[in-house]
C-alpha cells in the first residue's frame, strides 16, 4: 500500500503537479494576548524567535524575505520552483484590513509566489477579513488559513494564557471552511494538566472540525519561557515522551483521526540553542518521519483505522 497517513507532501504534489515549498515571512504582527486586548505576556510556551528561520526579520521588506527564503531552501529543496508565502510569526490577521491587503499584495507580487498560508488566532478573524481571502481564492490564488488552536480543552487554553476558548476556534474554523478556503489548525501534545487519554480523546473532537489539514507536535520547552519555569517547578503536571513513546502515542492518535485530514506535521523541530535539553537527540524531522513510517508498517496500521464517522 502507499503511505499509511494522509500526507501533506502527497496532497501538495497532487494539487500543484510539482514540488511547492513554503517560504516563511515575519511581517511584524503581534497578538491580542500580548498587547492587552485579550491578555499580556503571550502564550506561556512561546518564543517566536525559536520557530522562525534566521532570514525572517520584520524590518526587512517582504520581497527581500522571500528572496532570502528561496535561497535558504534551495540547498534542501532544489526541485522547488514555486513557493507559498507563509505568514507564520504571531497573528497575521491582527490589523485593519487595508494594512493586511497591502502586506499580502507585496507577497503575491513576487513572481515565484503562487499563494498564501496565513497563521493566525481564532479571535483575530471576522467576516470582512474572510471575505477578502475568499475573493483572493476566487482569482486563483491558493489561500490557507492556519489557526493556532493548541488544545481542545478550555482549562488548558486558560492555563497557557491563550486568551481564547475552544468554542471560538470551532466558530472560526467553521466560518473559514464554509467559504471554501483551505482551513488548517495547530495542536500541541504535552501541555500541562492534560493526560495521555485526554490527548487521545481529542482526535475525535478534531475529526468533527471541517479541517483540510492539521499540524501536531510535541511540547518543546523553550529557554526563557514561562513554560520552562513551570516545568522546572512542577514536572508532575506534564506528560513527557521518549521518541519511541511519542511515535507509538502519535500512531494511537492517528488511528482515531479522520483519514480526510491532511497531516502537515507531527513533530516540532527547534534549533538546539533554544531548548533546555534535546531529549530526542539531534535527529532531523525527515529522519523521525522515516521512523514513523517504519513503525506504522510494524504495527500494520494507518490513519483512521479506528475512526468512527
- Give 1's pLDDT tier (boundaries 50, 70, 90): very low
Quick one: which of 127, 122, 123, 128 has its CA closest to 99? 128
Q: Where are the alpha helices (DSSP H) in the chain?
A: 8-16, 62-74, 97-108, 127-138, 154-159, 166-178, 196-207, 226-233, 243-256, 285-299
Phi–psi pair at 208, nearest 5 degrees = -85, -10
Least confident among 195-204, 238-247, 263-272, 294-303? 263-272
Strand partners, 150: 187
Mean pLDDT confidence for 273-302: 87
Q: Where are the alpha helices (DSSP H) in 139-284?
A: 154-159, 166-178, 196-207, 226-233, 243-256
Residue 215 lies in a domain: yes
The tens digit of pLDDT for each residue in 40-61 reads 999 999 987 777 777 888 999 9
User: Can you give the residue range of the structural domain that contains 16?
Assistant: 8-299
Residue 73 and residue 22 in contact, taking contact as beta carbons nearer than 8 Å:
no
Residue 111 lies in a domain: yes
Q: Show the CA angle centred on residue 179, arms to residues 177 and 180, nearest 5°.
A: 65
Question: What pLDDT, on the 0 to 100 scale, is given for residue 54?
Answer: 77
Residue 205 lies in a domain: yes
**What's the DSSP call for residue 192?**
T
Residue 143 lies in a domain: yes
Mean pLDDT confidence for 235-264: 97
Question: What pLDDT, on the 0 to 100 scale, is given for residue 4?
Answer: 96
Q: Show the CA angle centred on residue 293, arms to residues 292 and 297, nearest 5°.
A: 115
Residue 264 lies in a domain: yes
Residue 47 lies in a domain: yes
The tens digit of pLDDT for each residue in 75-127 reads 776 677 889 999 999 999 999 999 999 999 999 999 999 999 999 999 999 99
Looking at the chain, the whole-number percentage of residues with pLDDT higher than 70 is 97
Residue 2 lies in a domain: no
- Give 170's pLDDT tier (boundaries 50, 70, 90): very high
Looking at the chain, the whole-number percentage of residues with pLDDT higher than 90 is 83
- Give 2's pLDDT tier (boundaries 50, 70, 90): low
What is the residue whose three cell numbers read 502564550?
43
Q: What is the mean pLDDT of the chain?
A: 93
Q: How far is CA 271 from CA 85, 90, 232, 267, in A?
A: 22, 19, 20, 13
CATH of the domain at 118: 3.20.20
Residue 1 lies in a domain: no
Taken in order 207, 283, 84, 123, is the CA torsion positive or negative?
Answer: positive
CA–CA dist 143, 22 (Å, integer): 12
Count up the domains in the chain and report the number.
Answer: 1
Residue 227 and residue 256 in contact, taking contact as beta carbons nearer than 8 Å:
no
Amino acid at each position: 500500500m502507499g503511505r499509511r497517513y494522509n500526507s501533506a507532501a502527497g496532497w501538495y504534489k497532487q494539487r500543484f503537479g510539482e514540488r511547492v515549498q513554503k517560504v516563511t515571512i515575519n511581517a511584524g504582527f503581534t497578538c491580542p494576548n500580548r498587547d492587552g486586548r485579550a491578555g499580556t505576556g503571550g502564550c506561556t510556551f512561546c518564543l517566536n524567535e525559536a520557530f522562525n528561520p534566521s532570514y525572517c526579520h520584520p524590518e526587512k521588506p517582504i520581497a527581500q524575505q522571500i528572496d532570502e527564503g528561496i535561497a535558504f531552501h534551495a540547498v534542501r529543496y532544489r526541485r522547488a520552483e514555486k513557493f507559498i508565502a507563509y505568514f507564520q510569526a504571531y497573528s497575521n490577521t491582527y490589523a485593519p484590513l487595508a494594512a493586511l491587503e497591502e502586506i499580502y499584495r507585496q507577497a503575491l507580487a513576487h513572481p515565484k509566489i503562487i499563494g498564501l498560508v496565513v497563521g493566525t488566532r481564532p479571535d483575530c478573524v471576522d467576516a470582512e477579513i474572510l471575505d477578502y481571502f475568499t475573493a483572493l481564492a476566487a482569482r486563483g490564488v491558493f489561500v490557507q488559513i492556519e489557526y493556532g488552536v493548541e488544545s481542545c480543552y478550555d482549562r488548558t487554553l486558560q492555563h497557557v494564557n491563550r486568551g481564547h476558548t475552544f468554542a471560538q476556534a470551532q466558530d472560526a474554523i467553521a466560518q473559514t471552511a464554509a467559504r471554501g478556503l483551505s482551513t488548517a489548525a495547530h495542536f500541541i501534545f504535552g501541555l500541562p494538566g492534560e493526560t495521555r487519554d485526554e490527548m487521545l480523546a481529542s482526535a475525535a473532537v478534531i475529526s468533527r472540525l471541517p479541517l483540510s489539514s492539521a499540524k501536531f507536535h510535541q511540547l518543546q520547552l523553550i529557554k526563557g519561557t514561562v513554560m520552562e519555569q513551570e516545568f522546572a517547578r512542577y514536572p508532575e503536571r506534564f506528560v513527557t515522551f521518549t521518541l519511541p513513546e511519542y511515535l507509538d502515542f502519535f500512531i494511537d492518535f492517528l488511528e482515531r483521526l479522520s483519514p480526510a485530514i491532511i497531516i502537515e506535521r507531527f513533530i516540532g523541530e527547534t534549533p538546539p540553542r533554544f531548548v533546555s535539553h534535546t531529549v530526542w537527540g539531534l535527529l532531523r524531522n525527515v529522519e523521525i518521519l522515516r521512523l514513523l513510517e517504519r513503525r506504522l508498517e510494524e504495527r500494520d496500521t494507518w490513519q483512521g483505522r479506528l475512526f468512527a464517522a
